[in-house]
Amino acid sequence: MVFGSNASGEGFLSKMRDGLKKTRRRLQEGFEAIVDFSSSDEEAFEELEALLVQSDMGARVATEVLDELRRELSSREASEREQIFSRLGALLSEKIRCDDRDRQLLLSSDPAVIMLVGVNGVGKTTSAAKLAHLLKERGRKPLLGASDTFRAAAIEQLRIWGDRLGVDVISHDFGADPAAVAFDSIKAARARGADTVILDTAGRLHTRHNLMEELAKINRVVQRETGCPPDETLLVVDATTGQNALRQVEMFAGAVAPTGIILTKLDGTAKGGIVIAIEAESGLRVKLVGLGEGLSDLEPFVEEGFVRALLGLEE
């Protein structure tokens, strides 16, 4: 099954407009404060570059986009401010444009397995619950596996979410083998008719090496039991951490080969440009975004809607 956005994106756009208001306000006000634009006005371009970097799009993206904008302006006699801002949006959209399938959850195993990875504090456990809710809304039967056995609070939190959602939760005692939880979760899914296993994993052990070894062990167990690696290994990243999110992507990318990103707390940051920086720098695609505290506030990512909401552009 290919699982992704099944609508026009208008619901997403409405939530995204509200969630990105801090970033959008900064960009719009900064853009309006720039006195004039022309291909030779270096001061204006430096100010615009600073705006993009402050929204955490990254220096490389800002430079590449503005170089292209400068080239386009040099071939025109004049451009209206609104046209320039709109063209900026188009250039940013190109940075994150991809095939629709790259943003979808590809769930083909029986049961399909989704492993959530990431550092502590980014919202993995809550994202697991929200993802279970989203899958349930789309007609699937998820099961949650509490493979973060190094935090008793995470196990209990997942159990509470499971009760609230009406979703089975497989858990062991605090300190148990996380891979054993993954094994039992897959067995339980088959016995109970669940079609999707969502594994919440630890974000911190005594050393980074130990963490990556534990995640690799879970991956091996999944492969042994289903005949393939997890259908999706989603790296959960907190948008409010800004450029630190890029370092987290680098840390996990070399060890567990994430298939995509869940970006949480996008509604609480003035640095929404981190979406563009992550995708441009890592090549990983943001598949889901958290836009609030409610169960229904985890949304499949829609790239065109994101850029429109980021800059406040109309259709």
The full set of domain ranges for the chain reads 10-96, 100-302
Residue 108, pLDDT > 90, answer: yes
pLDDT digits (tens, 9 = 90+) for 215-246: 999 999 999 999 999 999 999 999 888 888 88
Per-residue pLDDT reduced to its tens digit, 4-34: 554 445 666 788 888 888 888 888 888 888 7
Token match 């992507």: residue? 249
Average pLDDT (159-183) is 96
How high is the pLDDT of residue 6? 46
CA torsion 179-181-186-191 (nearest 10°) is 150
CATH homologous superfamily for the domain 10-96: SRP54, nucleotide-binding domain (1.20.120.140)
Running DSSP on this structure, what letter comes out for residue 142?
E
Residue 124's pLDDT band (boundaries 50, 70, 90)? very high
- How many whole angstroms separate alpha carbon 247 and alpha carbon 224? 31
pLDDT of residue 86: 85
Region 108-129 average pLDDT: 95
Asked if pLDDT for residue 253 goes beyond 80, the answer is yes
112-131: average pLDDT: 95
From residue 106, alpha-carbon distances to 70, 144, 192, 218, 254 in Å are 40, 18, 22, 19, 21
CA distance 55 to 273: 5
Task: State the CB neighbour count (10 A cutoff) for residue 200.
Answer: 32
pLDDT for the residue 312: 84
The superfamily in CATH containing domain 100-302 is P-loop containing nucleotide triphosphate hydrolases (3.40.50.300)
Q: Which of 70-74, 208-212, 225-229 has the highest mean pLDDT?
A: 225-229
Say whether pLDDT at 129 is over 80.
Answer: yes
Confidence of residue 40 (pLDDT cuts 50, 70, 90): low
